Amino acid sequence: MAGSISPAAGAEPAISPRPIAILDLRRDLTAPQALFVRILAFVVFALAWQWAAEAADSILIPTFTETMAAIYETAFVTGEIWPALWVSNLPLIIGFAISVLISVPLGLAMARWKAIDATMSPVIALALALPIAPLIPVVLVALGMGMTPKVVIIVLFSWVFIATNVRAGARRVDKSLVEMAQSYGASERQVWFRILIPGAIPAVFAGLRIGLGRAFAGMVIVELIMLPVGIGALLLDYRGDFKAGLLYATTILVMVEAVILALVMQALERRLIQWK
């Protein structure tokens, strides 16, 4: 029978070859195994770095060991890094706080009232698209040197991300919950405080986490492009003086701060969404 797809009568069944292994993409490692591979990766990286630096033999490329020594030196011996970190982080703290105070209510308002949402929509679009970095000198001339322009720049870097995340979170609150509350006679204020705000908290925190990351990026960019006073000054000095070990060390310590901030925010976020 041409074109038939039934097994032909009396045909020998196919011989099975050796069994096919099924691709398992998520076979998880145990905790000790995980720790081991991560440490192994780090060791491999450190060895490769050491070898490459020694091969390059350049005054500008420190070895892994030189860098580790420099970290120790700047953190515990001369202590140079700490005042620099403080000087750089102060505008970060103030700027982020201001950004939160402005953007969270703004995001909630945009979610609740269409008029505000419509008015702010082009501003938001502009703020998301317009690069802040080239405009830093403009801010400086408008506001002079010192703390104020740095704070303003950090606010500019972060506010729109906080606002949009808060807005998105508030919009996602289940409408039926609002209706339920209203049917039991809740006032506008009660709807806000008992339904909308608690419901939006996870997204608010996500917005804060992202906003902090952006504010931190803003701090770094200001330091490196325009106003090197804290960390930026250290980095540029070390590079100018060919103190490569300290240059790398300071960079790594900034990275460590970035990671710590991110982890803290993540932990806070997880703590707050326990109920979800």
Partner 1 sequence: MTMSALSTAGESPAAGLVRFVRNIAVNWAGMVALALIWEIVGQLIRQPWLPPLSEVLVRMVALFTTGGLSQHLVASLASLALGFLIALAIGLAVGILMGLFNWVYTALDVYVNAMLFTPGLIFAPILFAIFGLSDATRVSVVVIYAVFIIIINTAAAVRNVDRPLIEMAASYGASRTTTVFRIVLPDAFPLIIAGLRMGVGRAVKGMVNGEMFIALIGIGGQAARYGKQFDFTSVWAISVFIMALAVVINQLVTWLEKRMTAWVD
Partner 2 sequence: MSIISVSNVTHQYAVEGREKTLALSDVNLEIGKNEFVTLLGPSGCGKTTLMRAIGGLVTPTEGTITVNGKPVRGPNQDCAIVFQSFALMPWASVLQNVTFGLEMRGVGKAEREEKARAAIAQVGLKGFENKLPKELSGGMQQRVGLARALVVSTPILLMDEPFGALDQQTRRYMQEELLRIWQQDQRTVVFVTHDMEEAILLADKVVLMSARPGRIEEVIDVTFERPRDPEAVERLPEFVELKEHLWRRLRQAHELNAA
Q: Which long-range contacts (CB under 8 A, 24 or more apart) does 222-228 make?
A: 222/91, 222/136, 222/150, 222/153, 222/154, 223/88, 225/133, 225/136, 226/136, 226/137, 226/140, 227/140, 227/145, 227/149, 227/150
Residue from 73, 197, 236, 269 touching partner 1 (CB under 8 A): that is 236
Q: Does 2 bind partner 1 (CB under 8 A)?
A: no
Is there binding between residue 152 and partner 1 (CB under 8 A)? no
Angle ∠(109,114,116) on CA atoms, nearest 5: 50
114 class by beta-carbon count within 10 Å (0-12 exposed, 13-18 middle, 19+ buried) = exposed
Closest approach, Cβ 24 to partner 2, in A, equals 12
Which residue lies nearer to partner 2 by CB, 14 or 141?
Answer: 14
Name the one range near partner 2 by CB under 8 A: 1-9, 31-39, 114-122, 180-188: 1-9
Smallest distance, partner 2 to C-beta of residue 276, A? 19
Smallest distance, partner 1 to C-beta of residue 98, A: 20
| 48, 125, 264, 268: residue in contact with partner 1 (rule CB under 8 A) | 125
> Quick one: 2 or 75, whose CB is closer to partner 1?
75
Residue 98 engages partner 1 in binding (rule: CB under 8 A): no
Asked whether 167 and 107 are in contact (CB, 8 A), the reply is yes
Q: Which of the choices partner 1, partner 2, none does residue 32 contact, using the CB cut-off of 5 to 8 A by kind?
A: none
Contact between 187 and partner 1 (CB under 8 A)? no
Verify binding: residue 30, partner 2, rule CB under 8 A.
no
Which of partner 1, partner 2, none does residue 109 bind (CB under 5 to 8 Å by kind)?
none
Three-state DSSP class for residue 207: helix
34-93 positions binding partner 1, by CB under 8 A: 34, 37-38, 40-42, 60-61
- How far is Cα 137 from Cα 143, in angstroms, rounded to an integer? 10
Provide the residue type at 159 as one letter: W
Does 13 bind partner 2 (CB under 8 A)? Our answer is yes
Residue 96, C-beta contacts closer than 8 angstroms, at least 6 positions apart: 154, 158, 211, 212, 215
Q: How far is the CB of 1 from partner 1 (least distance, A)?
A: 24
H, E, C per residue of 7-72: CCCCCCCCCCCCCCCCCCCCCCCCHHHHHHHHHHHHHHHHHHHHHHHHHHCCCCCCCHHHHHHHHH
# residues near partner 2 by CB under 8 A: 16
Of the candidate spans 19-27, 47-55, 129-137, 215-223, the one that interacts with partner 2 by CB under 8 A turns out to be 19-27
The Cα 205–Cα 69 span in angstroms is 38
Single out the segment in contact with partner 2 by CB under 8 A; choices: 8-16, 37-45, 118-126, 184-192.
8-16
Binding site for partner 2 (CB under 8 A): 3-7, 13-22, 28
